[in-house]
Amino acid sequence: MSLPLQALAQLRLAAASALVCRGDELLVLADDELVLQRYSDDGRYLGQQVLLAGTLPADPAARKQQKPDFEMLCQLADGRLLALGSGSTAERRRGVLCQAGSAQLIDLSSLYLAIEARLTGLNLEGAVVQGEQLLLAQRGNHAGSVNALISLDLACVLSQLAAASLGPESLRSITPIDLGALRGVPLSFTDLCVANDGRLLFSAAAEDTDSSYFDGACAGSVLGCLVDGQVQALWPLAGQAKIEGLCMLADGSLRLVNDPDDRSAQSTLYRLELPI
């Protein structure tokens, strides 16, 4: 049985890709924007922060080529936010560390090259701090690639951030994850979050493409739970929205955002209750 998504609001962006809850605010990234947006938990727009200077082309093909592809957003213990590019092209191997209204550019190329040496079709699309590690999710939607959970040593990451770059020294492990398929289309990771009870949750989409660059039709999305590198639970979501970001609020309810893959369409903020 599919879990129903409750649409709360239309967002002021068209390609929502990552979502974090900080206090009573939601922080939202879009993979084709240069800003971080702030919303209330019911979707009321509160403002935005510029992450990278400049503007992106309006033409969809040119915009896709030049965008930083911020697919990941995580909150560090001290409240700072770390936005990360997917790594699927050289242009997409940058990050931004945000604190108190400032934005510091982070070079990810050294770390990403080390991960790419062990994974085909690098396309990172989820990040979350869990315990003493920073977890990244590899989206295995490239021909020959696999879904994987990448563990980085958090203390090493924090030390490297002070030098504005992340390197291979932080890399702990890479664990392939079998997510199966939805309606005949292979599932691939789109985001990670840690539930209030400590469980590692993930979203995954069944997008009909074998490219880490070009989009495809989406057959739907799922929510799941990982324990020790194994899928413990998998819940299909109603409809065909490509869910690309999720977070849990203090009350235990989830917020999710989708990417319509259409510059003329707005992303939607959804509410969802976990069945268990």
Torsion angle in degrees (nearest 10) through CA of 55, 57, 58, 61: -140
- Which of 118, 116, 56 has its CA nearest to residue 86? 116
Determine the 3-state secondary structure of 87 from DSSP: coil
Q: Residue 252: which H helix or E strand, with range?
A: none
CA angle 74, 145, 208 (to 5 degrees): 85
Sequence ranges of the domains in the chain:
6-272
Type of residue found at 138: Q
pLDDT at 145: 84
**Cα 202 from Cα 147, distance rounded (Å):** 12
Strands 181-182 and 185-186: antiparallel
- How many Å apart are CA 193 and CA 180, to the nearest integer? 20
Q: What is the largest CA-CA distance in the chain?
A: 48
Amino acid at 28: V
pLDDT per residue as tens, the chain (276 positions): 899 999 999 999 999 999 999 999 999 999 999 999 999 999 999 999 999 999 999 998 899 999 999 999 999 999 999 999 999 999 999 999 999 889 999 999 999 999 999 999 999 999 999 999 999 999 998 677 899 999 999 999 999 999 999 999 999 999 999 999 999 999 999 999 999 999 999 999 998 876 545 567 899 999 999 999 999 999 999 999 999 999 999 999 999 999 998 888 999 999 999 987
Neighbours of 197 (CB within 10 A): 8
Q: Which CATH number fits domain 6-272: 3.20.20.70, 2.120.10.100, 2.170.270.10, 3.30.70.260?
A: 2.120.10.100
How far CA 64 is from CA of 8, 28, 92, 107, 200, in Å, comes to 28, 19, 11, 20, 31
